[in-house]
Copies of this chain bind each other. A is one copy, B any other.
Amino acid sequence: MLDEHLIEKICSAVEDGYDEQLRLTAETIRVPSLSGRESAAQDIVSAAMADLGLEVDRWQAELESVLGHPGSSPPAQGISGDRLDCVVGSVSTERSEGRSLILNGHIDVVPPGDIGRWSTPPYEPVERDGWLYGRGSADMKSGVIACLGAYRALLAAGVQPASPLHIESVAEEECTGNGTVACLMRGYQADLAVIPEPSGEQIVRAQAGVLWLHVDVPGDPQHASGSAGFGSSAVDNALLIADGIRALQPEWNALKGEHAPFDSIENPININLGMISGGDWVSSVPSQCAISLRVGLFPGWSLEDTVAQIRRRVEDIAEANDFLAEHRPVLREGGFKARGYVVTDAEEPWNLLIDCHRAIAGAAPEELLTPATSDARTFGLYGGFPALVYGARGRNIHSFDEAVDLDSLKRVTKVLALFIARWCGVRGIERRQM
């Protein structure tokens, strides 16, 4: 337990540093660090880490070698680069009074969509009515910077973690999760990981798995007038396939009773037709159409079996179609190939996180079951230690006018600071680093 005086000092240090924390968050939002293009944002994060006296390890992980890891996902075409820009800021300590901790957050963001539909431009952060707006404000640049804010507050309160702490700022969480895989391969291990994804101050108990699948569907192009026969539209063919795959969503959700704890939420499995591109001439029957789907799966499900099941579905549809039977669609993987994850063997940190949250927020946090994925799976399934996802309240994630609740973010920063102190233990600072 921390003494009340230290708790107060830490909380008040978060308050004191909050303007600077938001300034730094805004600075990262101004850099459109789409997945695969994170370097300029990583420059900001690594400089901020160095300012805090963290030992900064920055490296470019070769995709080629990351792909050898069982927790990796195949590269997302047109998104993933040949290298992953990785940044880890560490407090190494030989003393080990407490337990080691990884704080992990992703610096990449998803595209903003139609910029005209944002109230203010996505890469121009603005505060309005207690929210900070901008792409990545919630998901999750504010979370990455909150890790630094929490650490800064400890320093300002005159303490240091007494066990190793690694703050990871990772690439490509939004498409592959390979950034966190690269950190694991680099040797970063701990007793626990915490990821401040915008969970609405809830602690994630379980997350679904996610597959990104792509189908290239052919058509029989003809002049659109139909004067030479009507051909077979690749777009219509692709929609047959997409609808067939999407029909798996209710089928799989009907199985949720077998997949506790996901039996308690309405639609744990979601299948999203995320992208479609077909045809190259208005007056030609489309000769090709590419579709990309995001497919959820239950924890425990095998990735290979699930891909095989979808492949069979595609083949069945093709078999039943005169044209596609002779011109097979091609199913490709690319991007997420991520198993679901249920937090287990984490009673102690789970309860500690509840305690810390209660100390700041006055009540215990809810438990969250999420149909989305996060890099928590990488630690939990491949690192051998559990990962808790807990972060601020956000809104319009992946949508227009994404925003993070600034009161919530401040509470979470305090909770993270207390959690570091209690999980890692603290010691006095030998020399002032700020």
What residues on B are CB-neighbors of A273 within 8 Å?
233, 235-236, 279, 286
Number of A residues, CB within 8 Å of B: 63
Chain A contact residues: helix, strand, loop or mixed: loop
Q: How far is the CA of A371 from the CA of B285 in the complex (A)?
A: 14
Q: How far is the CA of A357 from the CA of B395 in the complex (A)?
A: 72
Q: How far is the CA of A273 from the CA of B225 in the complex (A)?
A: 12
Task: Find out whether the CB atom of B398 lies under 8 angstroms from the CB atom of A111.
Answer: no
Task: Find out whether the CB atom of A372 lies under 8 angstroms from the CB atom of B225.
Answer: yes
Task: Find out whether the CB atom of A110 lies under 8 angstroms from the CB atom of B371.
Answer: no
Contact with B along A189-202 (1 / 0, CB 8 A): 00000000000000
Asked if A284 is at the interface (CB within 8 A of a chain B CB), the reply is: yes
Interface centre among A280, A284, A370, A395 (most CB of B within 10 A): A284
Asked if A187 is at the interface (CB within 8 A of a chain B CB), the reply is: no
Task: Find out whether the CB atom of A296 lies under 8 angstroms from the CB atom of B225.
Answer: yes
Asked if A226 is at the interface (CB within 8 A of a chain B CB), the reply is: yes
Known A224-B294, A276-B276, A397-B228: A284·B212 in contact at CB below 8 Å: no
Task: Find out whether the CB atom of A398 lies under 8 angstroms from the CB atom of B292.
Answer: no
What residues on B are CB-neighbors of A276 within 8 Å?
235, 276-279, 286, 289
Task: Find out whether the CB atom of B279 lies under 8 angstroms from the CB atom of A117.
Answer: no
Asked if A399 is at the interface (CB within 8 A of a chain B CB), the reply is: yes
CB distance from A412 to the nearest CB of B (A): 18
What residues on B are CB-neighbors of A221 within 8 Å?
113, 398-400
Q: How far is the CA of A393 from the CA of B227 in the complex (A)?
A: 13
Task: Find out whether the CB atom of A283 lies under 8 angstroms from the CB atom of B210.
Answer: yes
- The 10 A-B residue pairs with the shortest CB-CB distance, nearest first, are A224-B272, A225-B372, A113-B287, A274-B282, A275-B279, A225-B371, A226-B270, A223-B398, A284-B398, A221-B399
A-B contacts, 21 of them at CB < 8 A, read A111-B280, A113-B221, A113-B280, A113-B284, A117-B218, A175-B282, A210-B283, A223-B399, A224-B274, A226-B371, A228-B397, A230-B270, A274-B282, A274-B284, A275-B278, A275-B279, A275-B286, A276-B278, A276-B279, A282-B336, A283-B294
